A = this chain, B = another copy of it.
């Protein structure tokens, strides 16, 4: 039965071969400029082959989308050890924002682009829910410690997420240019500080 095993391995290898090439090109040139033909050429296979492993372009990039969340969680792992929940919340926001800064295209893919979600997000969005639950639990802990009194946790979470996402989205999609004379990175940094100082009064 080792032939079947090897075939299965080959199939897996081919998938990762495609994904590796796709990831590389995508992070270099962005989603729009990454065509199936380019990926096929990079791995020295014909375009049609890719469709034997991924239903369509969306499904291929959906995989990278999931990878992105995994990488983000990884970066947030160490924060589990921050005992004060409010400090942890602030640190999570920072890491979230750093992630957007360091992985603009990936952040775009995860939270802004419509493309890789056509199939999945129709009714639900598992990775989004997981991320959100993580955020919600921290905020709930904050509330247990007396913060954010009398505020509904769902709406509060939406608001907090929106604050940070809003800054990241304006940054990633180049709308920070509306501020002349201020560097986008400077805006992000100090915008986040304002966010924190505002939260501290609640």
Contact = CB atoms under 8 A, between A and B. Distances in A.
Interface in A143-168: 151-152, 154-156, 158-159, 161-167
Contacts of A179: 132, 154, 158
B128 A194 contact: no
B197 A121 contact: no
Q: Is the interface of A mostly helix, strand, loop or mixed?
A: helix
Given A163-B163, A166-B162, A170-B162, A180 B129 contact: yes
Tally of this chain's copies: 2
Nearest to A181: B154
Interface string A163-201: 111110110011111111010000100110111011101
Interface of A: 111-114, 117, 121, 123-125, 128-129, 131-132, 151-152, 154-156, 158-159, 161-167, 169-170, 173-180, 182, 187, 190-191, 193-195, 197-199, 201-202
